[in-house]
Amino acid sequence: MLFNQKLRAIQRKDNSLVCIGLDTDIRQIPKHLLRRANPIAEFNRRIIEATKDIVCAYKLNLAFYEVLGERGWHIVHQTLDRIPENIVTIGDGKRSDIGNSAERYARLIFEDYKFDAATVNPYMGEDAVKPFLERKEQCAFVLVATSNRGAKDFQFLRVNGKPLYEKVLQKVHQWNAKKNCGVVAGTTYPRVLRRLRELSPTLPFLLPGIGAQQGDLESAVRYGCDMHGELAIISASRSILYASSDEDFSDAARDAALSLRDAINHYREKYF
């Protein structure tokens, strides 16, 4: 199944554009879990159990696992094993490199872990991104305009009268021959998001920055979605994972995810 078909199917089934970022930090999980043999895997298991009927995707930022060494590799696998087949999984490593090295990164993310999608850095250009474009069922979400303050350092620079992020988007369209590219656009720059969606009406958009980074939800929905009010993946990590630091953490995460889903659906009804 093509990535976009899988995404649309789960968004319709769960009536949800919510993605939970499993950026699990041992320093932030409830203290009682530290007595367990594998606290991070247990935390992820409980979050997934509590939310799997109300999300379209889970995104694992690989830094939180790679920092654990070999144990982290196992936890990624254990976590992915808990996620139902029909939910989209995103390996967020923001990778790319000269082709030879990028090919190894792509194999790790798509063939070892078997994520449905990866986040990919366009800075090194086409040959560095190409290894992520070879599998038509697996999507490369290219960083076009990121959510952080430093996005302005390079991404907003003007090249021949156009901001660099528009040039990057043009490239993404060229790289999309197998219909397996997506766009990462932060929710903290609504006007940029609006422009990107105007230029790119049909690609899936990954929209981080909601919650802890105070991205704007209304514009994320209004401009992040395609014309059907779909193909936007609205991602939040800390605001959901750490909604409570107590024994009720998974219920609190569910409540936070439900509130986000309902707020998103309210805006979908308003604009689509």
CB of 92 to ligand OMP, least distance (A): 5
CB atoms inside a 10 Å sphere around CB 201:
9
Q: Is 272 helix (H, G, I), strand (E, B) or coil?
A: coil
Is 94 one of the catalytic residues?
A: yes
CB of 37 to ligand OMP, least distance (A): 26
- Which lies closer to ligand OMP via its Cβ, residue 90 or residue 133? 90
* Residue at shortest CB range from ligand OMP: 146
Cβ–Cβ < 8 Å for 30, 234 = no
Torsion on CA atoms 270, 257, 4, 115, rounded to nearest 10: 160
CB of 61 to ligand OMP, least distance (A): 4
Distance in angstroms (rounded) separating the CA atoms of residues 41 and 255: 21
Q: Among the options 31, 52, 59, 94, which is catalytic?
A: 94
- Which lies closer to ligand OMP via its Cβ, residue 21 or residue 204? 21
CB of 193 to ligand OMP, least distance (A): 11
Task: Report the interface residues with ligand OMP, using CB under 6 A.
Answer: 21, 23, 59, 61, 92, 94, 119, 146-148, 184, 186, 208-209, 211-213, 235-238
Distance in angstroms (rounded) separating the CA atoms of residues 226 and 224: 7
- Which lies closer to ligand OMP via its Cβ, residue 148 or residue 227? 148
Chain centre distance of CA 139: 11
Distance in angstroms (rounded) separating the CA atoms of residues 89 and 117: 6
- Which lies closer to ligand OMP via its Cβ, residue 138 or residue 160? 138
CB atoms inside a 10 Å sphere around CB 46:
18
- Write the CB contacts of 105 (distance below 8 Å, at least 6 apart in sequence): 93, 95, 96, 97, 131, 132
- Backbone angles phi and psi of 142, in degrees to 5: -90, 135
Provide, for the chain, the percentages of residues in helix, strand and coil under a 3-state DSSP scheme, each rounded to the nearest 5: 50, 15, 35
CB of 165 to ligand OMP, least distance (A): 11
- Which lies closer to ligand OMP via its Cβ, residue 39 or residue 208? 208
Chain centre distance of CA 200: 18
Active site residues: 94
